[in-house]
Amino acid sequence: MPSPAIAPFLGATGRMMQYRKYSEASAVGFLSAILFTVFSDPVRSYVDFGEKWLELSGLPYQMNTALLGFIVGFGTVRILLLMRLQLFKMLLNYRGWMHNPKSTTTKMWGLMLNAMRGKGNFPTYYFQEVLPKLPVPDLNTSCDRFLASMRPILSDEDFRNLLTEVIDFKEKDGPILQSYLLQRATRTNNWLKDIWMNLAYLSNRKPIAVNVNCYATDRLNIPSTKQKARGATLIHWILRFHEQLQDETLKPQYMQDMIPMCMESYKTQFSTVRVPCSGIDRLDTYKDSNYIIITRRGIYYKLEVKAPDNDGKDRLLTVTEIYSILEKIFAETEASEECHQVSNRLKLMENPTNKESLHAVEAAITVFSFDDEKPSSIDENGLLTLCGNGTNRWNDKSLTFAIFSNGVVGVNAEHTAGDATLPGRMWEYFLQSETYTAEGNIISEQTRKKKLPVPQKINWDLKYMDSEIDTAKEHFRKLSHSFELVVSSPEYGKGFIKKKRMSPDGYIQMVLQLAYYKLYQKVPKTYESASTRIFSEGRTETIRPVSEYSAQFVKSMLSESATREQKLMLLRKAVQYQTQIKMDACCGLGWDRHLLGLFACCQELKRTPPALFMDKNFFAPDILSTSQTPTNYTNKWTMETSCMGGGFFATSFEGYGVSYMIYGEDLIKFHVSCNLNCPTTSAAKMSDAINEAMNEMREICS
């Protein structure tokens, strides 16, 4: 629970804390009433101004004194609450901590923020009401930064056209759309939330399987090779994490261990499904769901996750209890020839049995799939977790967990419901918590349940859908076979980079720029994600690491006339630029989402699109789509229990998806993906180029 220092002053969110909004003030009011009554003579001189009113109340004098005492105590606390709440909000609006972390102002701000926040295990959504709104950037600044990011990528002619369109936009349509966007920002907690959700995800007509979903892999040395043991343990600890979200006991996340981050997206991490619709999809969340789906060999089971203990209270199933249930499911599915290849939601809805079964899956907490495959590498782990075999990934669900027959596990996440940091924290929680015997078996314990729930087989009637199923299978086969993934590690990590006084993330971004340039002699349009969760309902912003500095740096690395000193100078400038715009993006001052917001406003107002929005380069695809996968969400993180990264499919047919995870001081993992159907891309060649670039950049820094 929150510390006494802060609990009375921040209000509350969630079921746990609803009563606390006035309870502390009431407690102080009652204490004040008692003190006023017991020590009525000393305080009489202070309450004479209210004596006439008290006499008119018709109550005895002692009761009037107690009533006045309660009003004074209650009112004082509520006034202090408002004052402290406003001060806390003001402190959270300060951004200097990111740009000037060692300044005296930042140090004083940090002391005040910690004092206001206090210490304690705050409820999950405790700080939601005090998080600042996402700002709307300056129009001219966003336009100028957009041009600067595009200059190294475009030909002279294309840039000249873009430049004139931006100038025209700044003078005509831009101010009108900016004014409308500013009005929108005053009406909502986050002006970008619905725009980003609809344009980036829900209106995207590509299949979300492979294209949209992302994955996380297992740890390097798995603690058990036994499928049922690993699966039972996985189910239990994932449900423990879910229970913390339900009870709102999951600790809020902080940036720099100090600034509270938005937890809103955790509300859709479980029990959520993306429902395919005509034109634009929707997200449905079943917050009271109390069961999971377990699938093996095309057979689906519905399993309630709680049962009455000996004391009559409903409690989560233990690892031992889940294991015994899995044994029954495995026995039933071992020799079964039944395999439900579910596809085509609209066609399924025509049949009452299928409609009911479909709802059962969509409303479940999550899905656990027990697969027959045996991934033998991180690459295979990632590929099989993301793609499956076409029948064992419910891609519309916010989370689907894969448990392979050799004990390897993975998680498939639907991207609309949340960004990678959310399932990443959950995944780290599981990997840190699981325990087994030396032989890899579960650690058995005596069951305390009066009666274990029986898994209920979900029925499907698919006889009338043979044609649709065959079409879907062929479509998925082509889609999944287009996914190429290579995972690699360079010879050194962030320890070396930090010794050279450069940002590891900025340095790695320049590695990717150099690797691509070595292969294609082009500067690629590049996307990198930044978190904006320090704002209410914040998700991500775009970092555009390409600059004149980065373009000149990669060209210098292939130039025989460039000196080592010139290469190093350009590298440092390119990294500094990337670091600066990354901080700006995290502070809500990026330009990509801002311009997208202006585009959405143009659509809402039904205005004729300005030439800028019609330019082929305005929505040009990202050739390099990159993201750093975070680690170390808690102080319990260890290298031994850390997952080996995650990734996603390239967002462009002719591009690459590159996810990287930094471990400790000496290890970095790159997950490089591309489309196998593209004749000009190769994940293997790009991966090799990344390792070469790392070595070449180390040479100029040494």
Q: How does residue 56 score in pLDDT terms, banded at 50, 70 and 90?
A: very low
Residue 561 Cα distances to 252, 553, 556, 558, 694, angstroms: 53, 13, 8, 9, 21
Q: pLDDT tier at 4 (50, 70, 90 boundaries)? A: very low
Q: Please state the three-class secondary structure of 441-484 as a single string.
A: CCCCCCCCECCCCCCEECCCCCHHHHHHHHHHHHHHHHHHHCEE
pLDDT in tens, 245-272: 999 999 999 998 889 999 999 999 999 9
Residue ranges covered by each domain of the chain: 44-94, 141-199+486-701, 207-479
* pLDDT tens figures, 458-480: 999 998 888 888 899 999 999 99
The residues near 157 (Cβ < 8 Å, ≥ 6 apart) are: none
Which residues make Cβ contacts (< 8 Å) with residue 22, sequence separation at least 6?
none
Q: What is the DSSP letter of 525?
A: P
Least confident of 71-80, 381-390, 428-437: 71-80
pLDDT (0 to 100) of residue 173: 97
Instruction: Give the model confidence (pLDDT) of 188-233 as tens digits.
Output: 999 999 999 999 999 999 999 999 999 999 999 999 999 999 999 9
d(CA 45, CA 62): 15
CATH H-level superfamily of 207-479:
Choline/Carnitine o-acyltransferase, domain 2 (3.30.559.70)
For residue 506, what pLDDT is reported? 98
The pLDDT of residue 586 is 96
Integer Cα distance of 323 and 18 in angstroms:
38
- Structure-derived torsion over alpha carbons of residues 579, 584, 585, 589, reported in degrees to the nearest 10: -160
Higher pLDDT: 565 or 5? It is: 565
Residue 588: CA atoms inside 13 Å, Cβ hemisphere, count?
22
Asked which of 282-291, 364-373, 415-424, 611-620 is least confident by mean pLDDT, the reply is 415-424
Max mean pLDDT range (8-22, 76-90, 258-272): 258-272
- Given a cut of 60, whether residue 15 has pLDDT beyond it is no
**Packing angle of the helix pair 548-557, 564-586 (nearest 10 deg):** 150
Q: Measured at the alpha carbon of residue 252, what is the angle toward residues 18 and 413, in degrees to the nearest 5?
A: 110
For residue 50, what pLDDT is reported?
A: 53
Give me 184's structure tokens. Answer: 């929108």
The whole-number pLDDT of residue 600 equals: 97
Confidence check: pLDDT of 3 > 50: no
Q: Which of 557, 590, 502, 553 is nearest to 149 (CA)?
A: 590
- Give the three-class secondary structure for 260: strand
Q: Identify the CATH homologous superfamily for domain 141-199+486-701.
A: Chloramphenicol acetyltransferase-like domain (3.30.559.10)
Strand partners, 355: none
For the chain, how big is the Rg over CA atoms in Å? 29
Mean pLDDT of 381-409: 96
Residue 659 parent element (H or E): strand 656-663
- Quick check: do 141-199+486-701 and 207-479 share a fold? yes
| Averaged pLDDT, 418-442 | 95
In this model, does residue 453 exceed pLDDT 90? yes
Per-residue model confidence (pLDDT) at position 73? 66
Contact 476, 391 (CB under 8 A): no
- Average pLDDT estimate for 373-399: 95
Question: What pLDDT, on a 0 to 100 scale, did the predictor assign at position 36?
Answer: 59
Per annotation, catalytic residue among 242, 415, 594, 671: 415
590-599, pLDDT tens digit by residue?
Answer: 999 999 999 9
pLDDT digit string, tens, across residues 289-321: 999 999 999 999 999 999 999 888 999 999 999
Mean residue pLDDT of the chain comes to 90
For position 63, what pLDDT does the model report? 65
Please say if the pLDDT value at position 5 is more than 50.
no
pLDDT in tens, 505-552: 999 999 999 999 999 999 999 999 999 999 999 999 999 999 999 999
What DSSP state is assigned to residue 280? S
β-bridge mates for residue 109, sequence order:
none
Residue located via tokens 């499956």: 388
User: Residue 174's closest CA among 153, 146, 205?
Assistant: 146
Predicted pLDDT at 605 = 97
Answer whether residue 61 shows pLDDT above 70.
Answer: no
The DSSP bridge pattern shows strands 656-663 and 624-628 to be parallel
CA distances from 488 to 188, 221, 513 (A): 43, 16, 17
Residue 415 falls in the annotated catalytic set: yes
Q: Which of 416, 93, 401, 92 is nearest to 265 (CA)?
A: 416
Whether residue 8 has pLDDT greater than 50 = no
Q: Is the confidence at residue 41, as pLDDT, over 70? A: no
pLDDT of residue 161: 97
pLDDT band with cut points at 50, 70 and 90 for residue 633: confident
341 — pLDDT class (breaks 50, 70, 90)? confident
Please spell the DSSP secondary structure of 390-422, one letter per residue.
Answer: SSS--TTBSEEEEE-TTS-EEEEE-GGG--THH
Indicate if the pLDDT at residue 446 is higher than 90: no
CA proximity to 582, closest of 522, 540, 525: 540
Mean per-residue pLDDT for 38-50?
56
For the residues 76-91, what does the mean pLDDT come to?
78
How far apart are alpha carbons 394 and 92 in whole angstroms?
40
Give the list of residues 6+ apart from residue 189 with CB closer than 8 angstroms, or none: 133, 536, 537
Rounded Cα distance between 234 and 216, Å, is 14
Q: Is 257 helix (H, G, I), strand (E, B) or coil?
A: coil
Q: What is the mean pLDDT of residues 406-426?
A: 95
